[in-house]
Structure 1
Amino acid sequence: MTRCYNFCAGPAALPVPVLERARDEMLNWHGAGLSIMEMSHRSTEVMGVAARAESALRELMGVSDDYAVLFLQGGASTQFSAVPLNLLGEDGVADYVNTGQWSKKAIAEAKRFGAVNVAASSEDAKFSTIPPREDWKLSDNAAYLHYTPNETIGGVEYFWVPEVDAPLVVDMSSTILSRPVNVADYGVIYAGAQKNIGPAGLTLVIVRRDLLGKADAKCPAMLNWQKAADNDSMYNTPPTFALYLAGLVFDWLQECGGLAAMEVINRRKAQKLYAAIDDSPFYANPVEIPSRSLMNVPFTLANDALDKQFLAEADAAGLLNLKGHRSVGGMRASIYNAVGEDAVDTLIAFMNDFEQRNG
């Protein structure tokens, strides 16, 4: 079977070795006579899978015992509500930085639960940049500051950590595990799994333990981080198969050399693709160079009348899911960990050929 190259922003490509191992273990997991999907989440087998996944993640990211690691459901979008419900309090205020569509959604949801101060926004610049830290208008005694380190849609990424007094809360859905981070810089890290962690259906929350136990009285049990931590992420039936696959992805990352090794590869992939765009009068990227994402590369054609043709020919060539988000148009190549360098090289060759024939 020939596999295509998948540039989807999510659900995204999974590592082939992970898919092959899951295939081999599908019907008879470790001699148990059934699939891991069919086992009780209270069984020693599934509890062991969860424990090993957490241990591997802690090792990969350097997560200390000062933090709880929660495997939840509902995607990062559910955490847009869970964050204020767990941290804001009745009379608190939260600072948010708006750098794209996911920031906007987080802000809109937080406003349903309390006072929100938009400390900075790049909306006037069409989300092509990150507002300089010195321009941020922070609240006094904010409960937390929320920002999105990588905007999947606009292709903007922070390569610095804001220095503020409040705990940092970050939606790392599209950049987590792509390079090392200092977890101790953050109060809360959350991420949907469907980009660099595993399949859709699993949500990761890493929360500093001193921030637990602050949930509003009206916070639903399923959104209460303390309750999830007290029950080892099994207050209800967790997405066991997604958790199992995430554990296989963590193992694969360790076999690849860890996050430092992945960063080298990811930077090389991105540099190649951005160079192909910048060296051509036919393609363009709207993001300021210092803020260009390593994971999500949007680009436009000089003549947008060719967009449909570009996408049709790309699909025929086995280069899938290159259509840009409906809010911005154009193209977008998401080049997460599981998208190999060969995929990027093939895309660049296709782009060059398309330009020669249509430029």
Structure 2
Amino acid sequence: MANRAYNFNAGPAALPLEVLEKAQKQFVEFENSGMSLMEMSHRGAIYEKVHYEAEALLRELLGIPTGYKVLFIQGGASTQFAMIPMNLLRSGKTAAFVATGSWATKAIQEAKLFGEVSIAASSEADKYNRIPSIGELKYDSDAAYLHLTSNETIEGTQWSEFPDTGAVALIGDMSSDILCRPIDVSKFGLIYAGAQKNLGPSGVTIVIIREDLIAEPTAPVPTMLRYTTHAKADSLYNTPPTFAIYMMNEVLKWVKENGGAAGMEARNREKAKLIYDTIDGSNGFYRGFAQAESRSLMNVTFRLGNEELEKKFAKESEEQGFVGLKGHRSVGGLRASIYNAVPLESVRALVSFMKDFQSHNA
């Protein structure tokens, strides 16, 4: 489609055009049922096929080992900030966190409402422009869990490798980089991710949880906020976000058709390299925010010489069909979010614009 925007939104984010076009065709009538998927019961065989197919594809593409449950939960990753300590932070235990930026900070603040929290490592002194090294991590051997945010969308930093935490359950917020590359799920006790960046539209959150962590909370927790509730009912205890799960299923099919997690990584590294090379080769006109070894494959954050120039960049880019290049309001600057579904052609167009903008404003 010639009139598609160059979509660099941080979330909700770009979806594969092929998926959108297929959904458009199936929206009014799904599989000769005489109705839309949005109109049918989530207890019926047609929807259940979609539901379980999405789970199976997620297991396949992430290589999820046996002994883990895959849950589809509403409320976004922000609900998981509370749900995790409500279920896993027992009395007398401490939850350890790695403070890497805005989203890790939100998770820390929420956990403090339910129990003791410690900071295993922090990059706050560096304005969160880097990911702490594994060697920097300090936490109790009997901690309830160690929580990290695998990719900080606002600061544009990403973990390149994950720690082995032994008996301490490792928890990963992968909302903004799940399936951008292969990962070893067995290192984690729990992984969670809002769908609206790499998996589909907003409305559903993925929780991958090791079965030994699924237990009734020791303190009173509302029924809908217990992992046991969703695990026992295969995420069908109440009406799930059926359209979001359908769309996620189609996105997962697209990922599989395009080489799986390894194919996504090759695609994402090529896109990221184009932009980072442009930044690094600009003789200081563009300045990357994240330290080189912590740069994200998903969110490229950068600055110009002053805010007025950044505003001009944002305005002129919008006029040329680019969407979402303003940095987050809390930090300013500029940001290109290049999730799985962002086409290489969009990134090439952005690089061309960046070079042209520099030539007229340096």
Choose from 236, 239, 250 the match for 2:238. Answer: 236
Following TM superposition, by how much is the alpha carbon of 1:191 offset from its aligned partner in structure 2, in angstroms?
A: 0.4
Quote the residue 2:272 is aligned against.
270
Quote the residue 2:102 is aligned against.
101
Quote the residue 1:289 is aligned against.
292
Q: How many residues align?
A: 359
1:320-345 Cα offsets, whole Å, 9 max, x none, are 01000011101000000000111110
CA distance in 1 between partners of 2:73 and 2:66 (Å): 19
Q: 3-state DSSP class of the match of 1:299?
A: strand
1:202-253 Cα offsets, whole Å, 9 max, x none, are 1000000011014233122111111101011011111000000000000000
Quote the residue 2:38 is aligned against.
37
Choose from 199, 202, 213 the match for 1:200. Answer: 202
1:20-45 Cα offsets, whole Å, 9 max, x none, are 00000011111111111111111111
Q: Which stretch shows the higher mean deviation, 228-237 or 126-135? A: 126-135
CA distance in 2 between partners of 1:49 and 1:208 (Å): 23
Quote the residue 1:322 is aligned against.
325
Quote the residue 2:91 is aligned against.
90
Aligned letter for 2:326?
A: K
Following TM superposition, by how much is the alpha carbon of 1:156 offset from its aligned partner in structure 2, in angstroms?
A: 0.7
Following TM superposition, by how much is the alpha carbon of 1:305 offset from its aligned partner in structure 2, in angstroms?
A: 1.1
Q: 3-state DSSP class of the match of 1:69?
A: strand
CA distance in 1 between partners of 2:56 and 2:236 (Å): 16
Following TM superposition, by how much is the alpha carbon of 1:303 offset from its aligned partner in structure 2, in angstroms?
A: 2.9
CA distance in 2 between partners of 1:136 and 1:258 (Å): 31
Say if 2:360 is the partner of 1:357: yes
Say if 2:227 is the partner of 1:225: yes
Quote the residue 2:218 is aligned against.
216
Aligned letter for 2:87?
A: N
CA distance in 1 between partners of 2:338 and 2:169 (Å): 30
CA distance in 2 between partners of 1:184 and 1:70 (Å): 17
Quote the residue 2:315 is aligned against.
312
1:252-299 Cα offsets, whole Å, 9 max, x none, are 001101110110110111011100001112101121111100000011
Aligned letter for 1:158?
A: W
Structural mapping, 1:34-113, within 5 Å: 34-113=35-114
Following TM superposition, by how much is the alpha carbon of 1:132 offset from its aligned partner in structure 2, in angstroms?
A: 2.3
Q: 3-state DSSP class of the match of 1:137?
A: coil
Aligned residues of 2:216 and 2:226 also touching (Cα < 8 A): no
Aligned residues of 1:145 and 1:168 also touching (Cα < 8 A): yes
Choose from 301, 304, 313 the match for 1:301. Answer: 304
CA distance in 1 between partners of 2:222 and 2:170 (Å): 23
Q: 3-state DSSP class of the match of 2:47?
A: helix
CA distance in 2 between partners of 1:150 and 1:221 (Å): 30
Quote the residue 2:26 is aligned against.
25
CA distance in 2 between partners of 1:260 and 1:215 (Å): 37
TM-score for both structures, normalised by structure 1: 0.98
Aligned letter for 1:290?
A: E
Aligned letter for 2:218?
A: D
1:80-116 Cα offsets, whole Å, 9 max, x none, are 0111111111221111010000000000000000011
Q: 3-state DSSP class of the match of 1:116?
A: strand
Aligned residues of 1:89 and 1:214 also touching (Cα < 8 A): no
Aligned residues of 1:87 and 1:214 also touching (Cα < 8 A): no
Unaligned runs of 5+ residues in structure 2 are none
Quote the residue 1:248 is aligned against.
250
Q: 3-state DSSP class of the match of 1:97?
A: strand
Q: 3-state DSSP class of the match of 2:237?
A: coil
Quote the residue 1:180 is aligned against.
182
Quote the residue 2:146 is aligned against.
145
Q: How big is the alpha-carbon RMSD for the aligned residues of Structure 1 and Structure 2? A: 1.0
Aligned letter for 1:4?
A: A
1:10-69 Cα offsets, whole Å, 9 max, x none, are 000000000000000011111111111111111111111101110111111111231000
Aligned letter for 2:6?
A: Y
Aligned residues of 1:11 and 1:200 also touching (Cα < 8 A): yes
Aligned residues of 1:84 and 1:113 also touching (Cα < 8 A): yes
Quote the residue 2:123 is aligned against.
122
CA distance in 1 between partners of 2:25 and 2:133 (Å): 50
CA distance in 2 between partners of 1:135 and 1:200 (Å): 35
Aligned residues of 1:117 and 1:139 also touching (Cα < 8 A): no
CA distance in 1 between partners of 2:164 and 2:103 (Å): 22
Q: Which stretch shows the higher mean deviation, 17-26 or 297-306? A: 297-306
Aligned residues of 1:5 and 1:319 also touching (Cα < 8 A): yes
CA distance in 2 between partners of 1:221 and 1:122 (Å): 36
CA distance in 1 between partners of 2:355 and 2:58 (Å): 39
Aligned residues of 2:42 and 2:242 also touching (Cα < 8 A): yes
Aligned letter for 1:20?
A: E
